[in-house]
Amino acid sequence: MGKKTKVAVAIAAASAAAWAGSKALSKPGKRASKHALEYNRPVILAHRGGSHLAPEHTMAAFRNANNLGVDGFEIDIRLTKDEEIVVTHDETIDRTSNGSGRVASFTLEELRKFNFGYHFVNLDGYLSYREDFEPIVTLRELLTEFPHMYINIDMKDAPDTYEGGLMPSKLWRLLEELDATDRVVVTSFHDEQIDRFNLYAQNKVALGAGQTEVRRAFTSFTSQFGHLYHPKVDVFQIPVKHGIINLDSAHFIHFLDELNIPVHYWTINNAAAMQELIASGARGIVTDRPDIALKTINK
């Protein structure tokens, strides 16, 4: 046996020993069940209220989705200048106010003057005009009007901004005041925001995965050390693909399911794609077309 071969064999043996040792010492860290995620069938979440059927993030959209029979909503939240939590995102403000600013640049009273029904994506995929005036919605108003709804809340303000620094505590206090802690999922693209929120929530609220957590889970899944992955969150709400990486394999869904982590996929508007994801084990569909999703799932 040559020197290079001996080195290769030694490295392989060491790797195998490390894997065996870690396997023996580490037990999969299943997440404790959260009330918001205790369901026995795939759930349908109307993305921003179902933004291809009515103006996104407006009561017109939320009421329409509720009447259709969805299980819940997927929403974005931001903090206003006077520290009110509103259901919207900066892109909507930019369109509605003709490019005059961010959410944090306005007070709630100032935002009430804008028509959030002015533009929306219609069934053909184009921005459309809506004559009805649709005021901005606060998170308090949404939680109060729909006390039975599961709501996935995405904190959009970045942690390094003033409003982002305040959002976790403001959100926790509102959820606690309205007794809504067991029917929401709180998440953010920024894992730091999720961690900050949980400093207040102390695992009393279901948490969604941020971008770093998704990468950590997928890297563990594709390695030989998946047993070392210990999740920090309760649900993955992810796209079917990130860059060149496919995140919709049945094996990946099963990997997370074994850890008591359901997987929801966004934003799925095609019936065939919904059927494929459900067949692979997806536990939720986030969609702009809740009408299509309900017909598909009910079949």
- CA 278 remoteness from chain centre: 17
Global pTM reads 0.88
Q: Which two tokens stand for residue 21?
A: 């040792």
Give buried/exposed letters for 76-97 (b at 16+ CB in 10 A, else e).
Answer: bbbbbbeebbbbbbbebbeebb
pLDDT at 59 over 70: yes
Could you tell me which residue, 123 or 69, shows the higher pLDDT?
Answer: 69
What is the rounded distance in angstroms from the CA atom of residue 246 to the CA atom of residue 250?
11
Q: What is the mean pLDDT of residues 72-95?
A: 88
Q: Under 8 Å CB-to-CB from 209, ≥6 apart: which residues?
A: 187, 217, 233, 235, 236, 237, 238
Phi, psi angles (nearest 5°) of residue 16: -65, -40
pLDDT at 124 over 60: yes
What is the rounded distance in angstroms from the CA atom of residue 205 to the CA atom of residue 31?
12
Could you tell me which residue, 53 or 25, shows the higher pLDDT?
Answer: 53
State the average pLDDT for the chain.
88
Q: What is the pLDDT of residue 100?
A: 55
Q: How do 72-79 and 184-187 pair as beta strands?
A: unpaired
Q: What is the mean pLDDT of residues 42-67?
A: 96
Q: pLDDT tens, 130-186?
A: 778 999 999 999 999 999 999 999 999 999 999 999 999 999 999 999 999 999 999
The pLDDT-based confidence of 94 (bands split at 50, 70, 90) is low
Q: What is the mean pLDDT of residues 50-57?
A: 94
What is the rounded distance in angstroms from the CA atom of residue 18 to the CA atom of residue 248?
30
Q: What is the pLDDT of residue 214?
A: 96
Q: How many percent of the chain have pLDDT more than 70?
A: 86
The pLDDT-based confidence of 30 (bands split at 50, 70, 90) is confident
CATH class of 31-298: alpha beta
Q: Under 8 Å CB-to-CB from 172, ≥6 apart: which residues?
A: 197, 200, 201, 205
Q: pLDDT tens, 184-204?
A: 999 999 999 999 999 999 999
Q: What is the pLDDT of residue 299?
A: 75
pLDDT at 57 over 70: yes
- Find the angle CA(202)-CA(73)-CA(292) to the nearest 5 degrees: 145
Q: What is the pLDDT of residue 24?
A: 38
Amino acid at 263: V
Phi, psi angles (nearest 5°) of residue 291: -65, -45
Q: How do 127-129 and 119-121 pair as beta strands?
A: antiparallel
Residue 98 gets the label, from left (phi > 0), alpha (psi -120 to 50) or beta, of left
